[in-house]
Amino acid sequence: MVLLVQLLVLLLVILSIILVVGIPVTLASPGQWEKSRNLVYTSIGLWVGLVIVTGIINSFIV
């Protein structure tokens, strides 16, 4: 169970780094927002889901 939480946290950190770099680049590039808006929203939804799932699974560890 601890290994699962560690993997979820690793995925969360990797996705966070990608979003911290990717979203400002997307917003600063002319015309890119319209092309990649769905990808940005999907990535943010995945990040929120990972935070919630990691918190729930972490609550089972004593």
Question: Is the domain covering 1-59 a CATH 3.90.1150.10 domain?
Answer: no
Structural domain boundaries of the chain?
1-59
pLDDT at 62: 75
Are the C-beta atoms of 47 and 8 separated by less than 8 Å? no
Torsion angle (degrees, nearest 10) of CA 37, 39, 44, 19: -100
Using one digit for the tens of pLDDT, what is the confidence trace for 3-56? 999 999 999 999 999 999 999 999 999 988 899 999 999 999 999 999 999 999
Global pTM value = 0.87
Q: What does the block give as tokens for 23?
A: 């979203």
CA angle (27 as vertex; 23, 32 as ends), nearest 5: 105
